[in-house]
Structure 1
Amino acid sequence: MTARRLETRLHPDDRIDPGKAGPQVMRHVTVNAGESPIAWLASRGLLTAAQLGAGERLRCDYERAGLSARVTMRWDAAPPGKSRGGARASDASLARIDAHRRFHAALDAAGPGLADICWRVICAGEGIGGAEKALGWPARSGKLVLGLALDRLARFYGTG
């Protein structure tokens, strides 16, 4: 288990007043950096084991396919020649292609309205409140919609 650490973050409800001089209000929150939003929901009994498993499989496919944005240049070694080890490099490429295909098929199975919340919360690690605001949804609707999306993903992955 990853260690918990204390971080100081500006809470989204705390507004910074540009006309106010002096220090602004900051809240101290304890954050477990290794815990995903769906693991947080599951630990509080808001998701079933099948929903959590489906969400983790989607995130695994997303990461294995290499779909996340890169911050820096790739410094990986060039693929080896055909003489030695070429089969291993092609196996890795095939696994990446398979993960890419599974990821997009899973989002298609979730449906157009539910794929957005899946990507934002499961893959991008965005909180449910932030996803609700970005999608223009009413407050507290994200958990319900995410639950429906995870049910569809569980059916797709065969875990539910």
Structure 2
Amino acid sequence: RNADESPLTRLRRTTGRNGKPLIDDAEFAAGERLRADYTRAQLMPRVTADWSSAIPGGRRGGGMADLADAAIGARRRVEQALAAVGPEFAGVLVDFCCFLKGIEEIEKERCWPVRSAKLVLRLALASLARHYGLTVSARGSRSGIRHWGSDDYRPVVDPQD
């Protein structure tokens, strides 16, 4: 495949005002993983007729039964990923990462304001990266939770009292 044909690669090369790429390595990897699974799952619409399943004698293939185990597994992974990001982000991720539509094309088709798709894509890719476990998750302090009912609670006393 040609990496330059991917709008995800172009978005990765684009830098923001701070000079850093608009998407980080985890978000880029998540988008590429979705694209690879989508392709492996054979979900792309066909442009021409499929003559590979024509069998003499009038018998035809059975749909899902003809798919290889790898394709079925890939379909399951795509479904889980799209369910994890939710319906708000699923469509834009499929358009951008799988159908290779550009940002301007997505904005035009969805009647979005100019430059709004970049923000939505960044949020969608961050959610996808989190689903794949590619992001570093935030952790709280090691001191534990402190609340008014705990043993280590000390009320704040006003020095003027």
Q: 43, 65, 76: which is aligned to 2:13?
A: 43
Give the gaps of 5 or more residues in structure 1. Answer: 3-31, 79-89
1:136 deviates by: 2.0
**Cα separation, 2, equivalents of 1:46 and 1:127:** 15
RMSD: 2.4
Higher strand proportion: 1
What letter corresponds to residue 39 of structure 1 in structure 2? T
Rg larger for: 2
Q: Deviations over 1:69-107 (max 9, x none)?
A: 1112234478xxxxxxxxxxx9x7111001001111111
Secondary structure (helix, strand or coil) at the match of 2:77 reads helix
Alignment of 1:102 onto 2:82: no
Partner of 2:57: none
Instruction: Show the counterpart of 2:17.
Output: none
Residue 72 of structure 1 corresponds to 48
Query: Is 1:52 matched with 2:22?
Result: no
2:100 is the counterpart of 1:125: yes
% identical aligned pairs: 46
Q: Please report how far the alpha carbon of residue 54 of structure 1 lies from its aligned counterpart in structure 2 after TM superposition.
A: 0.1
Which among 62, 74, 91 is matched to residue 116 of structure 1? Answer: 91
> In 2, distance between residues paired with 1:43 and 1:130?
19
TM-score using structure 2 length: 0.67
Number of aligned residue pairs: 120
Instruction: Give the Cα–Cα distance (whole angstroms) in 2 for the partners of residues 149 and 112 of structure 1.
Output: 10
**Which 4+ residue blocks in structure 1 deviate beyond 6 angstroms?**
none
Q: Give me the whole-angstrom Cα distance separating, in 2, the residues matched to 1:53 and 1:124.
A: 17
